Amino acid sequence: MQTEKEDEDDASPEEYVALSSFTGSGSDQLSFHSGDRLLVHAKPSSEWWWAELHEVIGYVPARYLRQDAAEDEDDEEEEEEEEDPWQDEEYFGSYGTLRLHLEMLSDKSRTEAYRQVILSNSASLRNKVVMDLGCGTGIISLFCAQLAQPSVVYAVEASSMSEYTRQLVKQNGCEEVITVLQGRAEELELPERVDILVSEWMGNCLLFEFMVESVLLARDRWLREGGVMWPSSAALTLVPCQAHSYYAEKMAFWERPYGLDFTPLQPLAQQEFFTKPKFSHLIEPDDCLAAPCNVICLDMYTLQVKDLEEIKAQFHFCVEKSGVFHGFTAWFTVHFESLETGGAAVELNTGPNSEPTHWKQTLFMLDRPVSVYTGDSIRGTIVLRRNPVWRRHMTVTMHWNINSSTEDTDNCQVGTKTFPMWR
Ligand SMILES: N=C(N)NCC[C@H]1O[C@@H](n2cnc3c(N)ncnc32)[C@H](O)[C@@H]1O
């Protein structure tokens, strides 16, 4: 009697299309290019399949492949939607309405930080050429024209908001200085290179949306030799934390609602509430179980687009107070170097010890909380893997080891979890 797998092996191979190129590592992984048609012979796991290309066989990452849907009109629309890995229509559509711009403009910490950058560099901005990448309503460009005397600011905005940005520039008498350009910054033609490339590109967990790719492409194409990037650097900070109220609200709730035992729903709750990261989480400083650590530091002058595919970092936390290890919380800080040598940098810190921002922090809940004690160590790695198909998405994988310091228990608890953001 054939096992299910043997059945599968005998099944005729299925044809799949590669949505993105993949370079295999190790002898048993098969490399391929975007558009290649592979024959999938077996699917031993959900993540790795056994496939063939030009008579060569090997393991391929399943998430890179899509079954070639039979051409029919119903799928045509879906196919078109699928063809855009940047989902630009939806993405720039969302920035064509006021909701997100109101949220960003209402974020005083964020907006005042950019204003402070312009104000504290106003003298050095005189006669400079500036690009404001992804200017939205144009607030940063308007700060430049209002607080300094640059020779020109190219306010670049891909969404339909740019029509209103033009009106705001006119309404505030800044047409002499600000030129609004609609389009993707990396595709635009400018009459000249720029001295300063300023952008507010940070997404949740720093990189979500991957607008940073556009900033790097624009840097390589339009920033003059010796020009300045604002932000100049970015850091992702991580900390092991307690999250008692969130855990109580989503998980403990099912223990005794109205005197009844609803615990059979807890696996569902874990799947529904703890599989993805929680954006806009507000962590209390007291929830931190250890000193936060800058796990990833990005230099905006040297960072390359290819570096964004996979960013890996190690961490080692020493538990400073006993408590419950519910998960990890992440946030970011960006720095704006001064245009004057030796001048003070401006910092925008989205962590729990700073004024809250609209990003707040990002909470990664473990499947099971673990009691930890002062002196325990939590070592591990964080890996940010960009989605090879959906280019604005990524996964965050945490591996951790908990080493207890108390002699009587030499327990070393190991864990790993991958969080999709969002695909
Ligand atoms: N997470 C953020 N800071 N998002 C801000 C995104 C703002 O920049 C705009 N934007 C994003 N990418 C681009 C791009 N490549 N070119 C021009 N505008 C862009 C977007 O329409 C919105 O107004």
Query: What is residue 44's predicted lDDT score, i.e. its pLDDT?
Result: 84
| Ligand 1 centroid, distance to 223 Cα (angstroms) | 18
State whether the beta carbon of 287 lies less than 6 angstroms from ligand 1: no
Give a yes or no: residue 214 inside a domain: no
User: Do 65 and 106 fall within a single domain?
Assistant: no
Of the pLDDT bands very low, low, confident and very high (cuts 50, 70, 90), residue 10 is low
User: Do 272 and 123 fall within a single domain?
Assistant: no
CA dihedral of residues 347, 351, 353, 354 (deg, nearest 10): 50
pLDDT at 189 over 70: yes
Query: What is residue 48's predicted lDDT score, i.e. its pLDDT?
Result: 87
| Ligand 1 centroid, distance to 89 Cα (angstroms) | 13
State whether the beta carbon of 231 lies less than 6 angstroms from ligand 1: no
Nearest CA to ligand 1 atom 3: 201
Whether the Cβ atoms of residue 305 and residue 215 lie closer than 8 Å to each other: no
ipTM of the assembly?
0.99
Query: What is residue 1's predicted lDDT score, i.e. its pLDDT?
Result: 37
How confident is the model over 142-186, as pLDDT tens digits?
999 999 999 999 999 999 999 999 999 999 999 999 999 999 999
Domain that holds residue 139: 88-200
Residue that is written with structure tokens 């960009």 in the block: 386
Nearest CA to ligand 1 atom 6: 134
Residue among 99, 211, 359 whose CB has most ligand 1 atoms within 8 A, to mutate: 211
Query: What percent of the chain shows pLDDT beyond 70?
Result: 92
pLDDT average, residue stretch 183-200: 96
Give a yes or no: residue 386 inside a domain: yes
Give the angle subtended at the CA of 382 by the CAs of 378 and 387, to the nearest 5°.
160
Domain CATH for 130: 3.40.50.150
Whether the Cβ atoms of residue 359 and residue 350 lie closer than 8 Å to each other: yes
Give Cα separations from 341 to 50, 119, 124, 197, 303 (angstroms). 56, 16, 11, 18, 22
Of the pLDDT bands very low, low, confident and very high (cuts 50, 70, 90), residue 21 is confident
Asked about 6 being catalytic, the answer comes back as no
Query: What is residue 252's predicted lDDT score, i.e. its pLDDT?
Result: 98
| Ligand 1 centroid, distance to 323 Cα (angstroms) | 40
User: Do 185 and 273 fall within a single domain?
Assistant: no
User: Do 148 and 182 fall within a single domain?
Assistant: yes
| Ligand 1 centroid, distance to 105 Cα (angstroms) | 14
| Ligand 1 centroid, distance to 134 Cα (angstroms) | 4
User: Do 349 and 290 fall within a single domain?
Assistant: yes
Pairwise CA distance, residues 229 & 195, whole Å: 9
User: Do 239 and 348 fall within a single domain?
Assistant: yes
Catalytic site residue from 157, 209, 213, 337: 209
Of the pLDDT bands very low, low, confident and very high (cuts 50, 70, 90), residue 368 is very high
Give a yes or no: residue 221 inside a domain: no
Minimum mean pLDDT among 101-115, 361-375, 402-416: which range? Answer: 402-416
Q: Which amino acid is at 255?
A: E
Pairwise CA distance, residues 279 & 329, whole Å: 10
Query: What is residue 8's predicted lDDT score, i.e. its pLDDT?
Result: 46
Residue that is written with structure tokens 């940005």 in the block: 165
**Ligand 1, closest atom to CA 211?**
12
pLDDT at 192 over 60: yes
How confident is the model over 253-275, as pLDDT tens digits?
999 999 999 999 999 999 999 99
Q: Which amino acid is at 140?
A: I
Give a yes or no: residue 344 inside a domain: yes
State whether the beta carbon of 399 lies less than 6 angstroms from ligand 1: no
User: Do 51 and 177 fall within a single domain?
Assistant: no
State whether the beta carbon of 202 lies less than 6 angstroms from ligand 1: yes
Q: Which amino acid is at 194?
A: V
User: Do 312 and 405 fall within a single domain?
Assistant: yes
User: Do 296 and 244 fall within a single domain?
Assistant: yes
Asked about 309 being catalytic, the answer comes back as no
Look up residue 258 and give its two tokens. Answer: 């109205």
Would you give the DSSP letter of residue 64?
Answer: G
DSSP per-residue letters across 172-183: TT-TTTEEEEES
Domain CATH for 72: 2.30.30.40
Pairwise CA distance, residues 377 & 400, whole Å: 10
408/167: higher pLDDT: 167
Tell me the helices (H) and strands (E) count for the chain, helix number first.
10, 20
Is 1 exposed, middle or buried (CB count within 10 Å of its CB: 0-12, 13-18, 19+)? exposed
State whether the beta carbon of 349 lies less than 6 angstroms from ligand 1: no
State whether the beta carbon of 243 lies less than 6 angstroms from ligand 1: no
- Single pTM value for the model: 0.84
Q: Which amino acid is at 200?
A: E
Pairwise CA distance, residues 303 & 392, whole Å: 17
State whether the beta carbon of 138 lies less than 6 angstroms from ligand 1: no
Residue 40 bridge partners (DSSP): 14, 51
Which 3 state secondary structure label does DSSP give 10?
Answer: helix
User: Do 101 and 156 fall within a single domain?
Assistant: yes
Of 156, 182, 200, which residue sits at a domain end?
200
Query: What is residue 34's predicted lDDT score, i.e. its pLDDT?
Result: 80
Which 3 state secondary structure label does DSSP give 139?
Answer: helix
Query: What is residue 77's predicted lDDT score, i.e. its pLDDT?
Result: 52
pLDDT at 4 over 60: no
Give a yes or no: residue 209 inside a domain: no
Of 200, 217, 250, which residue sits at a domain end?
200
How confident is the model over 47-74, as pLDDT tens digits?
889 999 998 999 998 888 888 654 444 5
Pairwise CA distance, residues 179 & 167, whole Å: 11
| Ligand 1 centroid, distance to 143 Cα (angstroms) | 18
Tell me which H or E stretch contains 67. Answer: strand 65-67
Give a yes or no: residue 224 inside a domain: no
Query: What is residue 2's predicted lDDT score, i.e. its pLDDT?
Result: 39
Look at the chain and report how many structural domains it folds into: 3
Give a yes or no: residue 361 inside a domain: yes
How confident is the model over 101-138, as pLDDT tens digits?
999 999 999 999 999 999 999 999 999 999 999 999 99
Query: What is residue 3's predicted lDDT score, i.e. its pLDDT?
Result: 40
Would you give the DSSP letter of residue 275?
Answer: S
Phi, psi dihedral angles at 161 (to 5 degrees) = -60, -25
State whether the beta carbon of 158 lies less than 6 angstroms from ligand 1: yes
User: Do 362 and 286 fall within a single domain?
Assistant: yes
Tell me which H or E stretch contains 152. Answer: strand 152-157
User: Do 55 and 143 fall within a single domain?
Assistant: no
How confident is the model over 89-107, as pLDDT tens digits?
999 999 999 999 999 999 9
| Ligand 1 centroid, distance to 102 Cα (angstroms) | 14
Pairwise CA distance, residues 53 & 220, whole Å: 36
Which 3 state secondary structure label does DSSP give 171?
Answer: helix
Give the angle subtended at the CA of 303 by the CAs of 301 and 309, to the nearest 5°.
165
Residue 332 bridge partners (DSSP): 236
**Ligand 1, closest atom to CA 96?**
21
pLDDT at 398 over 70: yes
DSSP per-residue letters across 240-260: EE--HHHHHHHTGGGGSGGG-
Give a yes or no: residue 39 inside a domain: yes
Domain CATH for 361: 2.70.160.11
State whether the beta carbon of 107 lies less than 6 angstroms from ligand 1: no
Looking at every residue in the chain, the average pLDDT score rounds to 92
Helix axes of 161-171 and 139-147: crossing angle, nearest 10 degrees: 20
pLDDT average, residue stretch 330-334: 98
123: Cβ contacts below 8 Å, ≥ 6 apart: 148, 340
Nearest CA to ligand 1 atom 7: 134
| Ligand 1 centroid, distance to 235 Cα (angstroms) | 20
390: Cβ contacts below 8 Å, ≥ 6 apart: 85, 87, 423
10/302: higher pLDDT: 302
Would you give the DSSP letter of residue 217?
Answer: H
Catalytic site residue from 186, 200, 213, 337: 200
Query: What is residue 408's predicted lDDT score, i.e. its pLDDT?
Result: 52
301/28: higher pLDDT: 301
Of 56, 82, 108, which residue sits at a domain end?
82
